[in-house]
């Protein structure tokens, strides 16, 4: 082979190699580009779905009288100790609509509002219970001032928008509807707005029970906060009617050092949420059975919780389900105040399990460790559950299901409670409802920054409350 021929072949091979490299590079660019495009499309779709859940804003909502009334109420600072201005606002709202109400001061600045519509028959009355006070808005910056009542993107902002001034206004409007009906209800209807709920009720419902027993005279039923609704993509998935809660006690522990508190925490570990049930009471069985059809991963386990526990599968449930069947203790992080080493512990017992026994057990565990119970901030009365087998429960469930197209059922609280606990201890059947659809993001604003309620959701909740109370007043429950 001549040198010229060799050179020509080498050049041809070099050209083919360069061409192949260009083709490979082009292909790589196309593949990477396709992957990037697909990722961006997927990410955009995922982000769009997230924004749809979080930020869906319906069309323009007119500022109705119902919305205006709530805005005025939200603009009043009613933090604990300052309820009196909120109480006077409610009394004015009733007076402007031809009704009289009594301002009851449990202490200076602590206002409670009481109004009653007499029924044609004695006994079996219904109490519409709400609280005026709100938690402190905190130092976290709000997107809208916490006492502004501003509307932005169809959301009404303000401390109390969810907990629970919106429910209070819904009850107020339903109460006024009955008064304007022109004929008395079958049984007494009472509107009661109280102080001090967020700090335990000592100057609110508890004070009224002790000093003004006439307020609850003839009352058989109560409607209060405490319900919980589940929303999936703008649709109500479950309307939960609260029938009870655990019995709580909040204690402060004191020790000589942080190390003593750490040893106490380890010693108390058997009281912390575990993997086995203490007792599955009938109400818990029914609640989880009612809830099961709305679940995917845990439907079969929840449908028959006793069978699940007997089969050794109870541990497979998340803690949020297991705690309904357990007496538990939660210990907060230790702190130092004025040189004292302290820690807070909250006990939550199944209804029927006396929390005083749990307190004695805690004290016995701590005593050898040199740790003592320094104070008790909360000691609830024995937990009593309200039966769901009543005409009023069925009326609430049927009305909510018709309004929202969702199943309605029982609800038990396992990490919170309400003033209903004091009523149930006196034999009053109390139900808690959240009449408004509320998505996850709005529910997370309760006791946090940017508390808000969507205007169309609020309107639908007002309408639902009115329908329930009108039906009850007419004797259909």
CA–CA distance, 192 with 131 (Å, rounded to integer):
8
Contact 208, 112 (CB under 8 A): yes
Contact 195, 203 (CB under 8 A): yes
Contact 323, 348 (CB under 8 A): yes
- Write down the pLDDT at residue 4: 42
Tokens of 225: 């906060």
Structural domains of the chain sorted by starting position, each given as residue range(s) with its CATH number in brackets: 65-245+383-473 (3.40.630.10), 247-273+328-380 (3.30.70.2750), 274-325 (no CATH)
Tokens of 271: 């009281």
Contact 346, 328 (CB under 8 A): no
Contact 171, 192 (CB under 8 A): no
H helices of 292-407, in order, are 299-303, 305-310, 319-322, 355-366, 391-404
- Write down the pLDDT at residue 225: 97
Tokens of 403: 């309004």
Kind of pairing between the strands at 335-337 and 151-152: unpaired
Give Cβ neighbours of residue 155 (< 8 Å, ≥ 6 apart). 452, 453, 454, 455
Per-residue pLDDT of the chain (477 residues; tens, 9 = 90+): 444 444 545 555 555 555 665 665 555 545 545 555 544 554 544 444 434 334 445 556 688 999 999 999 999 999 999 999 999 999 999 999 999 999 999 999 999 999 999 999 999 999 999 999 999 998 888 999 999 999 998 999 999 999 999 999 999 999 999 999 889 999 999 999 999 999 999 999 999 999 999 999 999 999 999 998 988 878 899 999 999 999 999 999 999 999 999 999 999 999 998 899 999 999 999 999 988 998 989 999 999 999 999 999 999 999 999 999 999 999 999 999 999 999 999 999 999 999 999 999 999 999 999 999 999 988 999 999 999 999 999 999 999 999 999 999 898 888 889 999 999 999 999 999 999 998 888 888 899 999 999 999 999 999 999 999 999 999 987
CA–CA distance, 78 with 240 (Å, rounded to integer):
28
pLDDT tens-digit series, residues 10-67: 555 555 555 665 665 555 545 545 555 544 554 544 444 434 334 445 556 688 999 9
Our CA angle for 420, 344, 332, nearest 5°, is 105
């Amino acid at each position: 082979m001549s040198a010229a021929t060799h050179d020509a072949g080498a050049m041809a091979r070099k050209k083919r190699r360069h061409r192949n490299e260009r083709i490979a590079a082009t292909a790589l660019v196309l593949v990477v580009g396709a992957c990037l495009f697909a990722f961006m499309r997927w990410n955009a779709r995922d982000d769009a779905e997230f924004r749809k859940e979080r930020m869906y804003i319906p069309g323009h909502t007119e500022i109705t009288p119902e919305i205006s009334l709530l805005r005025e109420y939200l603009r009043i600072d009613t933090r604990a100790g300052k309820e009196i201005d909120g109480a006077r606002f409610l009394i004015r709202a009733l007076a402007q609509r031809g009704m009289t109400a009594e301002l009851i001061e449990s202490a200076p600045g602590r206002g409670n509002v009481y109004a009653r519509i007499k029924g044609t028959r004695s006994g079996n009355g219904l109490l519409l219970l709400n609280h005026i006070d709100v938690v402190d808005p905190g130092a976290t910056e709000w997107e809208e001032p916490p006492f502004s009542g501003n509307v932005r993107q169809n959301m009404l902002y303000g401390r109390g928008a969810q907990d629970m001034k919106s429910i209070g206004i819904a009850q107020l409007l339903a109460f006024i509807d009955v008064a304007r009906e022109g004929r008395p209800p079958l049984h007494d209807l009472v509107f009661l707005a109280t102080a001090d709920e967020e700090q335990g009720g000592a100057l609110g419902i508890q004070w009224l029970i002790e000093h003004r027993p006439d307020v609850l005279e003839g009352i058989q039923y109560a409607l209060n906060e405490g319900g919980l609704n589940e929303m999936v993509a703008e649709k109500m998935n479950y309307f939960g009617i609260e029938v009870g809660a655990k019995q709580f006690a909040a204690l402060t522990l004191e020790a000589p050092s942080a190390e003593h508190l750490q040893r106490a925490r380890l010693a108390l570990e058997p009281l912390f949420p575990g993997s086995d049930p203490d007792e599955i009471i009938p109400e818990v069985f029914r609640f989880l059975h009612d809830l099961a059809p709305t679940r995917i991963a845990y439907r079969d386990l929840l449908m028959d919780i006793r069978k699940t526990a007997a089969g050794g599968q109870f541990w497979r449930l998340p803690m949020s389900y297991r705690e309904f069947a357990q007496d538990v203790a939660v210990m907060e992080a230790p702190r130092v105040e004025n040189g004292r080493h302290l820690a807070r512990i909250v006990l939550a017992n199944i209804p029927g399990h006396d929390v005083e026994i749990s307190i004695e057990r805690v004290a016995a565990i701590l005593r050898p460790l040199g740790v003592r119970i320094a104070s008790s901030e909360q000691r609830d009365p024995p937990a009593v559950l309200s039966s769901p087998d009543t005409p009023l429960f069925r009326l609430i469930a049927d009305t909510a299901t018709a309004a929202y197209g969702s199943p309605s059922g029982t609800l038990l609280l396992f990490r919170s409670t309400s003033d209903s606990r004091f009523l149930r201890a006196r034999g009053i059947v109390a139900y808690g409802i959240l009449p408004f659809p509320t998505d996850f993001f709005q529910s997370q604003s309760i006791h946090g920054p940017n508390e808000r309620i969507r205007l169309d959701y609020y309107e639908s909740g007002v309408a639902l409350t009115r329908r329930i109370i009108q039906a009850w007043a007419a004797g259909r429950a």
